[in-house]
Amino acid sequence: MISATPSVFDTSFSRSGTGIDAFVDRHAPDVRTTYYGAGKVALRDGLAGVVDAGGNVIVPSYLSPAVVEPLYELGLESRFYAIDESLAPDFADLEDRIDDDTVAIMSVNYFGFPQPGLERLAALTDEYDCYHIDDNAHSPLSVHDGTLLGTHGDLGITTLRKLLPVPDGALLYCADEELRERFVPSSLAGRSDRVAATDCRFVVTSLAESVLETSQSLHQSVEALLDDGPDDSWSVDPVGRYEAAKTPMSKISGIVVDAADLVGIRTARRENFRAWRRVLDSRDDLSPFYEALPAGISPYEFPVRASEPAAFLAELEDCGVVGAHTWPILRESVRESDAYETAIRYSQEVVGLPVHQGIDPSSIEAVGDRLRR
């Protein structure tokens, strides 16, 4: 079976455990780094000292719905810009949305790759004298042309939960000097040094998942049971998601983050990315998003555009791939606007396949054999 996320019980830990601090220090020594439970809260704190209510932030339309909640909490409007087929901003659309009250423009490094157009976007933030937020939630370990993704802008975030088997965890990067000076961490900044109920719940859930992963039929039975349970529409409720994220990074996340073998993890993710590319190469109904995998990139997933996404997902599930999904569920105001045709189409046809370090490339090859049959 190929799960969505790695397990805390797998072997992606090293005795020396260089950890994320040393990694960030090596690649972005001048950036101030602060731990948080979630990237959304990091974003709020990073902006809080330098913005006034009534401003606006220009963000991509192709975005998870809860990411703009911290902006609303700060009294800022979020204005969504259209994207083009390469995931670059549609610059004409973006520039149209800038006005005197624009305090920041956000880029997003999708799937662990730099967002196309980053240089042009930086030129725009210079021209309009606003901040550049470099959202790198998807991949804390990606380095491109010598720059750690997330540190291109004045302010950046990255989400450790998307890389490691942890219940929470994120980093705020403050690169701009003024931002650094005016940054006042809230009570939600930092790492917890106490064991809390979340830590225990996480270990128990991870154990249960490890057991379920040993058998596809067991996994399907439990999934069916849970599907009949209470409606979990909360999980797509942006406000609920944001409020639930308001905790410092948990103790268990800190332990895992310090012990993780980051170089080994990036290597494993790259191998799995290449394995998916090989096994899906002959399929006419699928177009991989990225042909090349430049050095330094730590992919979050292997994204493909599927002409029949629901059928492809069903095929994958039959082959034991439970962690594949379309992404993201868009915010209602984006979903319902003609201005965002590409983002809406991509949210329906882009399927992300898991490449995490808990997967052995041979199991991707085995899925390939079954898909070909």
Positions that interact with ligand PLP (CB under 6 A): 38-40, 63-64, 67, 108, 135, 137, 159, 161, 170, 245
Comparing CB distances to ligand PLP, the nearer of 160 and 322 is 160
CB 291, min distance to ligand PLP, A:
22
Q: How far apart are CA 369 and CA 363, in angstroms?
A: 10
Comparing CB distances to ligand PLP, the nearer of 162 and 219 is 162
Comparing CB distances to ligand PLP, the nearer of 135 and 199 is 135
Comparing CB distances to ligand PLP, the nearer of 163 and 306 is 163
Place of tokens 């998870």: 64
Work out the number of other CB atoms within 10 angstroms of the CB of residue 129: 8
CB 15, min distance to ligand PLP, A:
28
What are phi and psi for residue 51, nearest 5 degrees?
-125, 155
CB 115, min distance to ligand PLP, A:
10
Place of tokens 């549609």: 90
169: left (phi over 0), alpha (psi -120 to 50) or beta: left
Yes or no: say if 339 and 96 are a contact pair by the CB < 8 Å rule: no
CB 159, min distance to ligand PLP, A:
4
Residue 316 tokens, joined: 């994958």
CB 285, min distance to ligand PLP, A:
26
Comparing CB distances to ligand PLP, the nearer of 43 and 143 is 43
Comparing CB distances to ligand PLP, the nearer of 137 and 304 is 137
Q: How far apart are CA 120 and CA 131, in angstroms?
A: 14
Yes or no: say if 42 and 137 are a contact pair by the CB < 8 Å rule: no
Yes or no: say if 7 and 165 are a contact pair by the CB < 8 Å rule: yes
Yes or no: say if 323 and 239 are a contact pair by the CB < 8 Å rule: no
Work out the burial of residue 233: count CB atoms within 10 Å of its CB; fewer than 13 is exposed, 13-18 middle, 19 or more buried: exposed
CB 234, min distance to ligand PLP, A:
15
Residue 298 sits at the vertex; the CA angle it makes with 315 and 42, to the nearest 5 degrees, is 105
CB 39, min distance to ligand PLP, A:
3
CB 199, min distance to ligand PLP, A:
18
Residue 267 tokens, joined: 């290597």
CB 160, min distance to ligand PLP, A:
8
What is the residue type of 25?
D
Burial code of 51-90, b = ≥16 C-beta within 10 A, e = fewer? beeebbbbbbbbbbbbbbbbbebbebbbbbbbbeeebbbb
Angle between helix 262-280 and 19-27 (nearest 10)? 80
Q: How far apart are CA 172 and CA 134, in angstroms?
A: 10
